[in-house]
């Protein structure tokens, strides 16, 4: 990107995940295999056929052959040792709390290969060859650096883990890492180099009451940005005529507009946080702080939406699965239009789909199941065109999907979308919160689940003319003490118990 002084980030509820991916490492066995095959693919007999990059540019063979052979051998040995770290475990992820004893040859072999390719690019006789060989050299160098850094695992601010997909000969391994907290990186790369950053999303706020520090507390804490003092807040509601002005406000608080609704009676369905710049552009001693603004929705949820909360056994309790299937069946059959059934895992999706497939098909519904071979785009096209369609989906259908009108009239949410406690990033961040005296469940898991639940709920009403029903099949939202935080964060729909 060119230099900039202002930045506006939409869908900013995802900023921590996106920043974690940007800062962390992701190196897979497939990435290394792809590079080596691109240079000189393996033959069925284990030799090398010269149909890759080296086959097209023959001067590379003498330069790269020994380095390439070493890289092939080192790759096979390295990932064999990585695979053995799993032992008899069946989990798809495994967190590593200390650097494993792994062979060092792969990183050095890829670095040597990068050097040989770089020399080959220098000796290339035409520009196209130089560019193509240089790109391969850069790729080999990047993989070498990532593998060396990951294997050392020397950054205490990162969490390191392994992932695997597939089984047996088709199993592929990934080396992963991510920062436990992204605040410092965001300060150095985004907040610290701009006059102002605006974060906006319909689900930035986790509602009033999750934290004693306000609806934006979770986001502020995860990003490491303190709030303005109470007297410096913009207020919870600002008329449209002032909204554009508020987006360009910096730290000049004496020029801020007066809040129209200081008591915060409006529902926090939309939200903005503006990061005022203090540093390169202004000499200030105080830390950068966030001005907060919660905006109401243009939709009349009380008239347009119904929220149904059946009283069924809690997840994993006796009778839960049977009740989940029955309530899903009833909601589908009673729907006036299309239905989204949203799950937190493929396992539960497949179980419920198998239990209902025959009956729902008999009643004339077109059934779509994520993971059945169709792309998300293809599934959505079919869903919009079919008159009576039920889509069974997981994470990617909870957000970023827009189906307006009668095509979608019911959203069924099978379970409150808490993050998986055993996920390495979740586990590491929870441990950090507990070490600092916090409550990981209330300070991290609940707010994360609230944001995702709001995203799922938001699939229903996309226009002022839309109407429909959201069914949440997790009785913890009505029976557990923390359930009120979820209900307070959702739009004010008519609630049916």
Domains for the chain: give ranges and CATH numbers: 25-157+166-173 (1.20.120), 183-295 (no CATH), 301-496 (3.40.50.300)
* pLDDT, tens digit (0-9, with 9 covering 90-100), for 92-115: 999 999 999 999 999 999 999 999
Q: What percent of the chain has pLDDT over 90?
A: 67
Strand partners, 42: 48
| pLDDT band at residue 180 under the 50/70/90 scheme | very high
pTM equals: 0.83
With 80 as the cut, is the pLDDT of residue 183 above it? yes
Residue of 47 and 296 predicted with greater confidence:
296
Q: How does DSSP assign 422-458, residue by residue?
A: TSHHHHHHHHHHHHTT--HIIIIIHHHHHHHHHHHHT
Backbone angles phi, psi at 201, to 5 degrees: -170, 155
| pLDDT band at residue 299 under the 50/70/90 scheme | very high
Residue 130: predicted pLDDT = 96
Q: Mean pLDDT over all residues of the chain?
A: 85
Residues 466 and 405 sit within 8 Å (Cβ to Cβ): yes
- Span 256-282, mean pLDDT? 41
Burial (Cβ within 10 Å: 0-12, 13-18, ≥19) of residue 227: middle
Residue of 67 and 58 predicted with greater confidence:
67
With 60 as the cut, is the pLDDT of residue 262 above it? no
- Span 168-174, mean pLDDT? 76
| pLDDT band at residue 52 under the 50/70/90 scheme | confident
| pLDDT band at residue 83 under the 50/70/90 scheme | very high
The strand ranges marked E within 309-452 are 339-342, 366-369, 389-393, 410-413
Token pair for 8: 């506006």
Rounded CA-CA distance 173/110 in Å is 18
Residue 213: predicted pLDDT = 54
Rounded CA-CA distance 161/82 in Å is 11
Instruction: Measure the CA angle with vertex 221, ends 218 and 226; round to 5°.
Output: 115
């Amino acid at each position: 990107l060119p230099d900039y002084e202002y930045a506006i980030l939409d869908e900013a509820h995802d900023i921590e995940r996106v920043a974690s991916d940007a800062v962390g490492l992701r190196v897979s066995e497939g990435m290394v295999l792809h590079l080596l095959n691109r240079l000189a693919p393996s033959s069925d007999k284990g030799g090398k056929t010269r149909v890759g990059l080296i086959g097209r540019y023959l001067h590379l063979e003498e330069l790269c052959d020994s380095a390439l052979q070493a890289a092939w051998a080192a790759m096979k040995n390295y990932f064999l040792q990585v695979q053995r770290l799993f032992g008899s475990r069946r989990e798809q992820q495994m967190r590593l709390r200390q650097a494993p004893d792994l062979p060092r040859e792969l990183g050095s072999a890829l670095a040597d290969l990068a050097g040989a390719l770089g020399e080959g690019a220098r000796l290339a006789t035409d520009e196209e060859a130089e560019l193509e060989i240089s790109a391969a050299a850069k790729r080999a160098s990047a993989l070498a650096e990532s593998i060396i850094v990951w294997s050392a695992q020397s950054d205490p601010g990162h969490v390191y883990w392994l992932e695997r997909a597939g089984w047996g000969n088709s199993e592929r391994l990934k080396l992963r890492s991510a920062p436990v907290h992204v605040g410092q990186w965001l300060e150095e790369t985004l907040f610290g180099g701009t006059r102002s950053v605006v974060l906006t999303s319909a689900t930035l706020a986790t509602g009033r009451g999750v934290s004693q520090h306000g609806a934006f507390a979770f986001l502020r804490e995860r990003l490491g940005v303190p709030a303005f003092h109470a007297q410096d807040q913009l207020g919870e509601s600002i008329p449209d005529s002032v909204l554009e002005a508020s987006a360009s406000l910096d730290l000049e608080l004496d020029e801020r507009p007066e809040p129209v609704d200081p008591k915060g009676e409006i529902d926090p369905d939309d939200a903005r946080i503006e990061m005022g710049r203090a540093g390169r552009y202004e000499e200030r001693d105080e830390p950068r702080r966030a001005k907060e603004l919660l905006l109401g929705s243009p939709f009349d949820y009380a008239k347009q939406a119904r929220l149904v909360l059946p009283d069924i056994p809690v997840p994993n309790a006796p009778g839960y699965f049977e009740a989940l299937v029955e309530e899903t069946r009833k909601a589908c059959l009673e729907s006036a239009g299309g239905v989204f059934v949203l799950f937190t895992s493929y396992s539960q999706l497949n179980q419920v789909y198998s239990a209902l497939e025959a009956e729902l098909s008999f009643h004339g519904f077109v059934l779509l199941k994520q993971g059945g071979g169709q792309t998300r785009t293809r599934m959505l096209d079919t869903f919009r065109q079919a008159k009576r369609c039920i889509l069974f989906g997981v994470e990617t259908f909870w957000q970023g999907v827009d189906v307006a009108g009668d095509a979608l009239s019911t959203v069924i949410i099978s379970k409150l979308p808490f993050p998986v406690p055993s996920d390495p990033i979740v586990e590491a961040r929870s441990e950090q919160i507990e070490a600092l005296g916090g409550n990981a469940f209330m300070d991290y898991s609940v707010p994360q689940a609230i944001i995702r639940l709001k995203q799922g709920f938001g699939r229903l009403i996309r226009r002022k003319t839309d109407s429909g029903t959201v069914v949440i099949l997790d009785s913890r939202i009505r029976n557990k003490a923390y359930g009120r935080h979820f209900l307070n964060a959702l739009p004010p729909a008519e609630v049916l118990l």
